[in-house]
């Protein structure tokens, strides 16, 4: 990631989209944030990670932090001076996040953190983080959220050599007695897991739109190639074997985009939207990967080169079929909401 990326996006107002104007933000609706994420992803999919991560963290802090905490933390996020990340996943706990084991131990001055978080987007670059840690007994109610200074020398990091999205600095973070002051607890003690998870219904729709932005620009490139490239004396778009798959993907993209924006509209209007958010999260990244793959095949050998952005987009969007909730978890949420908990897995 470029050193000046956060500052540049801050100057454009992108890092403060979901932050109140009183703290230097734009107070944008969830729908507007979704439009921004899709448009940024059209140009640079990995830059859209900034909107995904910052939007999620902003939502968590606006809903759960005290006014004094918001005054200290949010202006720097909005201006792009703070690079934040969110630390939930652990080596032994991914989907089963409520079973996390990183421990926050009480001290005279607050807490100290002991343990490891892994697969953290922006983990190599972030200077602050929302960290979920166990302060009580087993299960979700024993988990609290903290705003942690990652520049402390007790925090060490290790990056991953990933298939795609290498610029986002996915990393493992080790906390070896990292001090956390009493004023860094976000929300109530023991309520961290629930409060953080509530933010994911918003970010999952944003993720969907970012993936669709990368797919849409790939589709437009493939459509133009179908006009320009000739074979057997005619543009290749005149052959149904070329044009029909592109027509199908255009149709699917429009449907998935509608689901994503429906989730964001429901959030803006105070409606329940966990079903739509789960639909957006499992469908849009999967569809984006399928669409970009089809576009790569349409462009042929031209797109198979590393000089083409199509292959990079394909590698990049696959990561979000995993991150922030797998398709299996999303389908579980959908099934339970449609059938009722007692009639679903």
Are residues 207 and 285 both part of a single domain?
A: yes
Q: State how far Cα 193 lies from the chain centre.
A: 17
Sort strands 84-87 and 128-134 into parallel, antiparallel or unpaired: parallel
Q: Which two tokens stand for residue 100?
A: 């996390």
Using one digit for the tens of pLDDT, what is the confidence trace for 42-56?
A: 999 999 999 999 999
Pairing of strands 110-120, 230-231: unpaired
Element (H, E) at 19: none
Q: What is the pLDDT of residue 291?
A: 98
Which of 188, 211, 232 is the C-terminal boundary of a domain?
188
pLDDT at 1 over 80: no
Q: Is 95 in a helix, a strand, or coil? A: coil
The pLDDT assigned to 20 comes to 97
pLDDT at 72: 97
Instruction: Answer yes or no: do 95 and 74 share one domain.
Output: no
What CATH number corresponds to the domain at position 90? Answer: 2.40.110.10
Q: Which of 161, 188, 215 is the last residue of a domain?
A: 188
8 Å CB contact between 28 and 18 = yes
- Residue 165: band (very low, low, confident or very high) from pLDDT cuts 50, 70, 90: very high
CATH classification of the domain holding 25: 1.10.540.10
Beta strands in 103-260 (DSSP E): 103-107, 110-120, 128-134, 143-149, 155-159, 171-180, 185-186, 230-231, 234-235
| Location of structure tokens 């448009």 | 39
Q: How many CB atoms lie within 10 A of CB 216?
A: 22
Torsion of CA 94, 98, 101, 105, to 10 degrees: 140
Q: What are phi and psi of 343, to 5 degrees?
A: -110, 10
């Amino acid at each position: 990631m470029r050193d000046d990326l956060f500052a540049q996006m801050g100057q454009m107002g992108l890092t403060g989209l979901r932050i109140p104007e009183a703290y230097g933000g734009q107070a944008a609706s969830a729908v507007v944030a979704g439009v921004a994420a899709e448009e940024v992803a059209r140009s640079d999919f990995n830059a859209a990670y900034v909107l995904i991560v910052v939007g999620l963290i902003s939502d968590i802090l606006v809903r759960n932090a005290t006014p004094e905490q918001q005054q200290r933390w949010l202006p720097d996020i909005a201006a792009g001076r703070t690079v934040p990340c969110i630390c939930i996943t652990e080596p032994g706990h991914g989907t089963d996040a409520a079973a996390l084991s990183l421990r926050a131990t009480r001290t005279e001055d607050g807490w100290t953190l002991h343990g490891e978080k892994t697969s953290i987007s922006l983990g190599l670059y972030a200077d602050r983080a929302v960290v979920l840690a166990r302060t009580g007994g087993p299960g979700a109610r024993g988990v609290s959220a903290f705003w942690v200074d990652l520049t402390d020398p007790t925090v060490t990091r290790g990056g991953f050599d990933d298939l795609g999205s290498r610029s986002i600095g996915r990393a493992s973070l080790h906390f070896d007695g990292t001090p956390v002051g009493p004023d860094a607890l976000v929300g109530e003690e023991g309520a961290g897991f629930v409060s953080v998870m509530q933010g994911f219904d918003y970010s999952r729709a944003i993720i969907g739109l970012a993936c669709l932005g990368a797919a849409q620009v790939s589709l437009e490139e493939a459509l133009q190639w179908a006009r320009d490239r000739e074979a057997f004396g005619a543009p290749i778009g005149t052959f149904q074997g070329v044009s029909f798959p592109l027509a199908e993907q255009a149709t699917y993209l429009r449907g998935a985009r509608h689901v994503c924006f429906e989730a964001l509209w429901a959030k803006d209007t105070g409606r329940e939207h966990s079903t739509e958010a789960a639909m957006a999260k499992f469908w849009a990244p999967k569809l984006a990967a399928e669409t970009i793959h089809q576009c790569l095949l349409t462009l042929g050998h031209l797109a198979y080169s590393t000089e083409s952005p199509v292959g990079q987009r394909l590698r990049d969007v696959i990561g979000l079929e995993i991150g922030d909730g797998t398709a299996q978890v999303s389908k579980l949420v959908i099934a339970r909401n449609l059938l009722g908990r007692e009639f679903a897995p």
